[in-house]
Amino acid sequence: MSRAEQNHIKKNKRQIVIYLLFAFVSISAQGSPDFVLKGDARPAARDTLQVSSVNDMSHYTFKWTRGDALGTFEGAALSNIESYVITEDDYEHWLRVSVYDTAGNTVYSKDTWVSKLPVLYIATENGQPITSRENYVTANLLIQGNASFDQQYAGVTEIRGRGTTSWLYPQKPYKLKLNKKTNLFGFGKSKHWVLIPNFNDKSCLRNYIAGKLAKRLGVLAMEMTWVDVVLNGEVKGCYMLSQHIRADKNSVDIFDWEKEAEAIASPLFSSIRDEEELGDEDLESLEETMKQNLSWVTDGIVPFKGKAYNLSDYDLKKEYDTTKGYLFEATGKKDGNTQFATPQKVHFEVSVPEYLSTNSEMFSYVKEFWEDFEAEYCQVADPCKNFSKYADMKSMVGIWLVNEIMGQGDPTNSRYSYIPDDGKLHFGPAWDFDHGGSSWSADQGYATFFTLVHKLDFTYYRKWFPDPVLCTMAYDAYWDVARPFIIDYISEGGEMDDMYAVFAEAGKTNDTLWGSYPCIISPSAAPRTTAEDVEALRKFLLNHIKWLDKRFLSPEKLIEAMNAYCPYPCDPNTVGINEAEPDTQTGVQKVMRDKHIYIIRNGDTYSINGKRDR
């Protein structure tokens, strides 16, 4: 069955689901539709939940009970009237209201999960389990609000698994594809969202803090927030709801080749449908064909249903700039549609466009681009490397600092980069920090450069440094941006404490649900509660910053410290000098005066030889 036929069936199935399964009176209500529970769109302490009906309710009796995350309900009634006022004790509990007729029969029952966080109720069609990371399951999604947000969504979604190692966790990661673009929590309109489990990151903070730090450093990061998830009536605990990394103005703002395929397919279809006797479903098939075979971008020929259509014949041929519009993931996975490895064994999956390999000209360009960039950062003739010819140096410094400060040493997975309109590599979005920051899966101390300790060929951070210009930029970014942010964030009464207060109760639910499970990566790791891991993260960040302070005393000291880790050590006194013009991207000019090397940037002079010690 073709992709277009599958999508056509999915569309029809979704329409059936809308009309037959999901009325949205309640996601977990049973019994007579004459009853409605009011006040459950954003339930919070001191709010009232109220059962109402179009009928006279004087002949009915009511019972409100409380249940825990495991679904065990207390026998004693909280209330025996049609309303109930929520208390602080109800957070991270089920509240069930049951309505009985005079014969004692249950005529209506509704369960509501009460949380300080927004709650995602996901009900798959016929309770179907989610077992695949490739195939979507149709589901109903209701996003219950909280004190800060109204109800965010009530409609159809598709859901599948996602992740690599994280898919092995008992608390599973998921990908959502909503039925319509929706602006969830002010993060921008999109159909595509991900649910990141906090199974490894017991603190529920590592990804969030890393994203905040990345943005301060000018590195792209996805918006995310804490939510509780209820799947087919079972509480799954606290997750991070995040934007999906993809080509989109609200995610990674690059040229979208798939959207361009759709834009060209529509007028082409209109031009050929009558002559070729095509049906409406063939438009979707044509779109998929053009997305999965990108040869038309450069040769202007679209193969479809055994024929070849020349876009020039329909005034649709364009001259595209094929030096932009790419999203890469450095990954250990080997299952993508377009993958390549550099001579230094950095393995990439091309996320955008997914089927880049179908255009040999474009695919050759990106491979050669990476090889040229790699050759530059591996060359030893001039320790001051010409990074700016290929990459945005601010993002290079920023992504390195985020990973280093957060103690994320994994060089092989979920490390993204992209090429926007300027035609240069930008590093980010910052992503996947579950295993850093002395998490229970990697309680690795604090006294090292986590990004530089791996001796693997494909660890490119080790080969970027200790370039004097990068080190000088890192020195400034550390003292001016990164260090003040982290110290302020983790200080007593700082934002770390404020954020923990938001999800503290949800963290306890995670402890109940998942606390007894062993660590997948480090089975011998001692278990931690959410509260314990928050303090472990705080302690790690404080100690690692103290250790880094001594290495960041000056650009020269930073170079000396890195020399012990990196394969291409640098002697600042041998750096090649070009005093003619500042670098056009960074504004950096290298000069030598009295045997001292100076970096001049934006009119400020910095000594590489220790004249600016902290």
Query: For residue range 479-498, what is the model confidence (pLDDT) as tens digits?
Result: 999 999 999 999 999 999 99
- Please answer whether residues 86 and 45 qualify as being in contact, where contact means their C-beta atoms are separated by less than 8 angstroms: yes
Cα dihedral 308, 310, 316, 321 in deg (nearest 10): 90
Q: How confident is the model at residue 601 (pLDDT cuts 50, 70, 90)?
A: low
- Sorted by sequence, the CB contacts under 8 Å of residue 142 that are 6+ apart come out as 24, 27, 120, 121, 151, 153, 154
178: left (phi over 0), alpha (psi -120 to 50) or beta: beta
Q: How confident is the model at residue 131 (pLDDT cuts 50, 70, 90)?
A: very high
What does pLDDT average to over the chain?
88
Identify whether 170 is preceded by a cis peptide bond (ω within 30 of 0): no
DSSP SS3 for 576: coil
Query: Which range is least confidently modeled, 165-169, 360-364, 436-440?
Result: 436-440
CA separation, residue 576 to residues 190, 466, 566, 592 (Å): 48, 14, 19, 9
In tens, the pLDDT along 203-240 reads: 999 999 999 999 999 999 999 999 999 999 999 999 99
Between CA 204 and CA 356, with CA 190 as vertex, the angle to 5 degrees is: 100
Question: How would residue 518 be classed by pLDDT, with cut points 50, 70 and 90?
Answer: confident
**pLDDT tens by residue, 393-439:** 999 999 999 999 999 877 667 899 999 999 999 999 999 998 888 88
> Which residues on adjacent β-strands are paired with residue 252?
247
pLDDT of residue 15: 39
Return d(Cα 114, Cα 12) in angstroms, integer: 34
What does the pLDDT average to over 289-301?
98
Does pLDDT of 118 surpass 50?
Answer: yes
How many residues does this entry show for the chain?
614
Q: Which two tokens stand for residue 66?
A: 């409380």
Is the model more confident about 54 or about 321? 321
Say how far apart CA 14 and CA 283 lie, in whole Å: 19
Per DSSP, the residues of 271-323 read: HHHHHHT--THHHHHHHHHHHH-TTHHHH-EEEETTEEEEGGGGT------TT
Question: Residue 73 phi/psi, 5° resolution?
Answer: -100, 145
User: Where is pLDDT greater, at 381 or 434?
Assistant: 434
* Measured distance CA(276)–CA(132) in Å, rounded: 37
pLDDT in tens, 66-104: 999 999 998 899 999 999 999 999 999 999 999 999 999
- β-bridge mates for residue 110, sequence order: 29, 97
Name the nearest CA neighbour of 540 among 503, 532, 614.
532
Q: Which residues does residue 247 pair with via DSSP β-bridges, in sequence order?
A: 252
- Quote the radius of gyration of the chain (alpha carbons, Å): 28
Which residue has 């941006």 as its token pair?
Answer: 481
Q: Which residues are registered as beta bridge partners of 601?
A: 588, 604
Q: What is the mean pLDDT of residues 251-255?
A: 98
Residue 582 has pLDDT above 70, yes or no: no
Compute the distance between CA of residue 194 and CA of residue 545 in angstroms, rounded to an integer.
31
pLDDT in tens, 32-71: 668 999 999 999 999 999 999 988 999 999 999 999 999 9
**Given this model, what pLDDT does residue 17 score?**
37
Give percent of the chain with pLDDT exceeding 90.
69
- % of the chain exceeding 70 in pLDDT: 86
pLDDT of residue 335: 73
Mean pLDDT of 123-129: 96
Domains and CATH numbers, the chain: 32-114 (2.60.40.2700), 119-243 (no CATH), 257-314 (no CATH), 368-607 (no CATH)
Q: Is the pLDDT of residue 13 over 80?
A: no
